[in-house]
Amino acid sequence: MKKNVFLLPVLFVGICFTLLTCTTDDILPAATLSLSSNTLSEDGGTVTLTASLNAAAPEAVSIPLVFSGTATFGADYSVSASEIVINQGQSSSSIVFTGIPDGIIEGDETIEINLGSTSGVLILSAVNLTITILDADIDSDGDGVPDSEDECPDLFGPFENNGCPFLGFLINEVLYDPAGGLAGDANGDGVRDPLDDEFIEFFNSGPELDISGYKIFDATALENNVPRHTFPQGTVIPMNGVIVVFGGGNPTGSFGGAIVQTASGGQLNMNNAGDFVTVQDASSNVIATFDITPLSGNPDEAYTRNPDIFGEFERHPSIPEANGALQSPGTKLDGSSF
């Protein structure tokens, strides 16, 4: 017991010495570095590099940077500053990298970011950051549209269609069995009707198209040569335009800016148990078809191409991008405009 009593004053003095010599002034502010993106478009794209402290800076903090890699500063990119300065009282600051188009097909290039001589700050994140500059002059499919502007970089397509192929006048979505209740009110007139709320959505994947005199048939109508709908004179669909034909009712809403019509025959009358839709041009040439039979089963939801325009038909709400929506007349399956 006497030994323990003797040691207590010594231990107490040691603790006091530690407390008096270790203060918060000895702790360096800690910083992390982060990029807004790891890729930078050569055609004027931007990427932000941000330094963030774990607390407000007690005094100005400077983080110098060194740039290397296969990209050339001044030719392939510019940067707003070569160091990040966090002012006193602030906890973050940023610099911006900007791509510079050079008109040369040279492939993707890189910017390697490393720290210069740093003091007064503790860097917590990795410092060997890399930005890949995407060459805006690459043309993967050889259609004359650079990949940076090509909405279909792997498919040959004309410049006026943003590098995507023209696929003609096609059916993109069909609702032949509206859901019960207001969930099935596809035409937006406030009333769910099993015939009025049926619709066919068409997409014009081509130059401006006059479809005056085109006709829509189901199997029974084709057999009797009595169309369910005849597109009236003056029905012109712009390039990449959309037209929706409802069975009837009073369609209400914007429908993504699509042209909207109701069946001239009073209904589309697509049979839930199985049917076959045929679209003919004014000269009775078959332009498009849709076979309901393999997709039948009273699904209470539309069938739509996935992806829009290019894909196969799938049940609308089963597609993640649809966010559970049963149909999307006039718009892409995610509800956005074409």
CATH of the domain at 314: 2.60.40.1260
Write down the pLDDT at residue 275: 95
Residue 201 lies in a domain: yes
**Same-domain status, 47 and 88:** yes
Answer whether residue 18 shows pLDDT above 50: no
**Same-domain status, 170 and 274:** yes
**Same-domain status, 33 and 180:** no
CA dihedral 111, 95, 64, 113 (to 10 degrees): -20
Answer whether residue 118 shows pLDDT above 80: no
Answer whether residue 308 shows pLDDT above 60: yes
**Same-domain status, 181 and 312:** yes
Query: Which range of residues forms the domain containing residue 289?
Result: 166-322
Mean pLDDT of 220-243: 97
With vertex at residue 314, the alpha carbon angle to CA 309 and CA 315, rounded to the nearest 5 degrees, is 125
64-95 pLDDT tens trace: 999 999 999 999 999 999 999 999 999 999 99
* CB-CB contact of 296 with 274 (8 Å): yes
Which range has the top average pLDDT, 117-131, 133-147, 316-330?
316-330
Residue 144 lies in a domain: no
d(CA 71, CA 246): 55
Q: Residue 143's closest CA among 165, 119, 127?
A: 165
123-142 pLDDT tens trace: 765 578 999 998 877 788 88
**Same-domain status, 37 and 95:** yes
The CATH number covering residue 62 comes to: 2.60.40.2030
* CB-CB contact of 212 with 282 (8 Å): yes
d(CA 62, CA 119): 8
Burial class (CB in 10 A: 0-12, 13-18, 19+), 109: buried
Number of domains in the chain: 2
Q: In what helix (H) or strand (E) does residue 122 lie, and over which residues does it extend?
A: strand 122-123
Mean pLDDT of 59-68: 92
User: Burial code of 50-66, b = ≥16 C-beta within 10 A, e = fewer?
Assistant: bbbbeeebeeebebebe
Strand order in the sheet with 259-262: 259-262, 242-246, 199-205, 168-175, 303-306, 312-315
Residue 95 lies in a domain: yes
**Same-domain status, 210 and 263:** yes
* CB-CB contact of 180 with 237 (8 Å): no
**Same-domain status, 34 and 115:** yes
Write down the pLDDT at residue 199: 98
Residue 124 lies in a domain: yes
Residue 58 lies in a domain: yes
Residue in the block written with tokens 């996935």: 306
* Average pLDDT taken over every residue of the chain: 88
Q: What is the pTM of this model?
A: 0.60
Helix (H, G, I), strand (E, B) or coil at 95: strand
247-300 pLDDT tens trace: 999 999 999 999 999 999 999 999 998 999 999 999 999 999 999 999 877 689
Answer whether residue 11 shows pLDDT above 60: no
**Same-domain status, 311 and 182:** yes
d(CA 203, CA 170): 5
Residue 12 lies in a domain: no
Write down the pLDDT at residue 58: 87
* DSSP conformation letters of 161-219: GTTPPP-EEEEEEEESSPPSGGGG-TT-SS---TTTT-EEEEEEESS-EE-TT-EEE-H
Residue 224 lies in a domain: yes
